[in-house]
Chains A and B, each alone.
Chain A
């Protein structure tokens, strides 16, 4: 009897978490990379007296999220490819979209963990009032993460058998996720104004939701034919 969609997804998630807990390799390397990203931006975007450039904080946060997310994606699927577990997963009598959902959940958790570290860091280095409207900011980050991760998981999975996957993943992923990043940056920038522009942020949240719905639906729908030989 085939297990249900949610059960399969959670099983895949549990497997990924269990593997990750043992070595914590992806978590540590991704987090460190994200921190290094923010440090580099801090050095690059600081004016002479040591004062950070205004208005850069939102963009820097989202760039760091996007870059470290791409890294986490390629590392995760490289691990799958190396141990050939992806093929085993796809051979299992489970619905393919459920496998995708499980990997997506793992990726979202990884990116959220990174954002939890990055947001206070960027707020600190750039004197930016990120926590003026924490719920709205969390919605922006959450929805943006879902949008980015949904496309990223699909693309990283479909590129697993490609020789030039490391170079192709950013080339393919970044253009498609530009709308998500734009919406995230603009919404965050609106929240960083004094006073925070809540209607603008809400508009971008609405748009992010639309993107998420479109991208998730497409990804769930096309995962199976894309992964079949």
Chain B
């Protein structure tokens, strides 16, 4: 089933991303930050995608650890890679935005620090897979579980400490205060979630193929 909807979904996603720059160009400017605020539409969407893939990684790591399901391990490693990809873009876009809005390329505020930590945790996941030797899938699963467990704290961090980063209420009230932006946020988030799904499917396919290759090697030895 995944194979049949892959191509149409890919076309839809590509079309959405092709249209996105025009939509972002047409949306009205925000009153205090003006042009630089337009980074927000992809910046927020990437963190949406990140939340989705972190959840996938946490759940599949749990399933792998407790049930030993190989397929769960494929999803775990694939989503961990995507956490790093989306996280890096989130931090980079945030840094560019902050350069103008805050005056500095980097600020150790609560949200930025915790988000960096999340990316580091999943980088650690990938390092364990690569350098941990046999049995490293389980070790990585532990990282995935702990990483996913800290994600809610990252989200709430900006509400608990009044720091320089915008709070969660900004997006929650966007529908009332700035409807054009809210629609664009939904559009970009949908595009990013579709993209995350497609990338995940492609990456999982790679893992499945590797598994098949291993099986073929084992069969050839007989």
Contact = CB atoms under 8 A, between A and B. Distances in A.
Verify whether A and B have any Cβ pair under 8 Å.
yes
Interface of A: 151, 154-155, 158-159, 161-164, 167-168, 171-172, 174-176, 178-179, 182, 203, 207, 210-211, 214-215, 218, 222, 225-226, 229
Contacts of A179: 114, 117, 150, 153
The 3 A-B pairs of least Cβ separation, nearest first, read A175-B120, A178-B117, A175-B121
Most chain A beta carbons < 10 A, residue from B114, B133, B139, B160 = B139
30 contacts: A151-B146, A155-B142, A159-B132, A162-B132, A162-B133, A162-B135, A162-B136, A172-B124, A172-B139, A174-B120, A175-B117, A175-B120, A175-B121, A175-B123, A176-B143, A176-B146, A178-B120, A179-B153, A182-B114, A203-B160, A214-B149, A215-B149, A218-B149, A222-B142, A222-B145, A225-B65, A225-B66, A226-B138, A226-B141, A229-B135
B146 A164 contact: no
A interface: dominant SS: helix
Interface string B136-177: 101101110111011001000000100000000000000000
Interface of B: 65-66, 113-114, 117, 120-121, 123-124, 127-128, 131-133, 135-136, 138-139, 141-143, 145-147, 149-150, 153, 160
Contacts of A203: 160
Contacts of A214: 149-150
Contacts, number: 76
Nearest to A178: B117
A158 B128 CA distance: 12
Contacts of A155: 142
Given A164-B133, A225-B138, A226-B139, 18 more contacts: A154-B142, A162-B132, A162-B133, A163-B133, A167-B131, A168-B127, A168-B132, A172-B124, A172-B143, A175-B117, A175-B120, A176-B121, A178-B113, A178-B114, A210-B153, A214-B150, A218-B146, A222-B65
Nearest to B143: A172
Contacts of B131: 164, 167-168
A226 B142 contact: yes
Contacts of A159: 132, 139
Given A162-B133, A178-B117, A218 B128 contact: no
A50 to B, nearest CB: 28
Given A218-B149, A225-B66, A158 B121 contact: no
